[in-house]
Structure 1
Amino acid sequence: MVRGMTSAPGSRRATPRPTYDVPTVVRRDETAHHVWGDAGSGLVTDRVYVSTGTLHVLEYELAPGGEFRHSPGNKTVFAADVAYCVLEGTLVIADPEHGEVRVVEAGEQVLFRRDTWHHGFNPGSGPTRVLEFFAPPPSRGTASTYAVTRPMLEAVRYRDDRWARRWPEAQEERAAGARLHVVGVSTALWGFAADCPAHLVGTTVDTQHLTVGIGRVAAGHVEDARKLEDESVLVVTEGELWVDAKDEATAEYTVACLRPGDAAFLPRGTQLRVLVRGAEPASYLLGSGRPVPDDWTP
């Protein structure tokens, strides 16, 4: 029971859906704010950057000791690929259907695919902030619209006993059957952006619907523009990063200096250049989505 909440669970409130069709800067303090949850599920605060027909991006926060579970009115099971990127604190994430529990520290990410029930917990004394990339997005019926059609998960487990008396020898077996995939710097596929070692890009997630990458840009970096093949959202995590984005349809430019928490929405076909003007490097997360056919259903 959430302190101060006595009302019975109801239907989940719809998440705001800010939508853009040209390169757009979204400052963290300009995001659409949202609260979801009830007495059974717990309360979560969202800052929604973008929610188009291709990609859904938000930052959510759990208070110290906070958590979210599922309830009849807030079923946490979706028909999408979802990446949680921990920006601050620690996220303990659980698959309560199968008992899998993983600890995700700041700088790490966790990927789960469709039909994965999930609960989240903040065990720390400070806030846990998580950047979420979600595709196909809720506008395609993959979030609460889909969740209400799923049977309620009645039995909950927070321990996976399949590996009892076989640990750590069973690590490879667990990894092969995992539903919660913890990824990050050590597991990324690293490369140079435009063959330039001053701009490192590490792919952490790459599925049919969603790609997530880490960008590290050196102090003083300058580069030529490159075309984005997928609709993307870039969120700065460290330093100051200039974005110089040319829209493919209008040939107009969107230029801004982004600080941690600020984002740029970048439609497919955008010509993007990033620069660092100061003496300190910058880092970012980039999530990209690919559209599903018009007649696609969850």
Structure 2
Amino acid sequence: MSPRPPLTAAQARRLPDYPFQGHWFGHGAWHQHYLDEGRGTPVLMVHGSPTWSYMWRHLVLGLRTRYRCIAPDLRGMGLSDRPRDPDGELLADTRAQDLGRLVDHLTTDRGAPARGWTLIVHDWGGPVGLWWSHLHPGVVDRLVVLNTTAFPPPPGYRLPRAVQALRRPALGRITHAANAVAQASCRPLPQAVRDAYLAPYRHRRDRSAPVRFARDIPLSPADPGWSRARRLGQALITFTQLPVFIGWGMRDPLHDDLVLAEWTRRLPRASLHLYPRAGHFVLEDTAGQLVEDIRDFLAVTDRGTGT
């Protein structure tokens, strides 16, 4: 059996604003946790690193009266099991494959439709979710982008020094989760919320996936993930004629103005919403407004697509 996370589902339900009944899907030797709340058109929310489905809590609560909100914990993160990742594999690839199996399960066994999904991505959830979408054309017909990337770094981009340090395995395993959470929000998180983000990563052995994600960031053609980032960027053309919402925290030191400009260049018809007082954790810094804006976008495009 794969190692289980240090946080149980019962403990998770006692966290602030996370009153959800968890579900599990078995991937052979390990189990993936996911939220499945509400009814209607499925909205798939894919988190990044070192977060987990907890980051989607406000959005799930705001959308579940009209939409079916699916929020998985990626392998090795949140309440999902901690199987060992083989060396040499890109985590975004393996997590996209996991996502495909989960969605197949939801469509085959849990009554979800085969098409008409909305995809919402943040941080590493961008490469994971968009690669899954690329591998399963026609499933996703709306996209919501929140402070993420899905292409090689644009010219002039520099990775923040704090993140560069986290790419060193020994240091990253010790500090990654706590430092990343502390720096990702522009306003100090309430202690109970900060503790909730960090709860699945209490022990060093639980931080393997976040450390690997930091090491997988493609910065040059010499990095293993560079060619995949190029292919993913090219695949964005499939969204140029579909409804796209970009919600961007403008004070994000990781995904800066250069990254935002690249998104708007590649998806020029996207509905762009800028949040000047928000950082990387845009859903924490401006939860009320962002949830309202996403809900409005979905309502308008519901009518526009006849769903």
Report the TM-score, using the length of structure 1 for normalisation. 0.32
Query: When you count strand as a share of all residues, which structure comes out higher?
Result: 1
Report the TM-score, using the length of structure 2 for normalisation. 0.31
Which protein shows a greater Rg?
A: 1
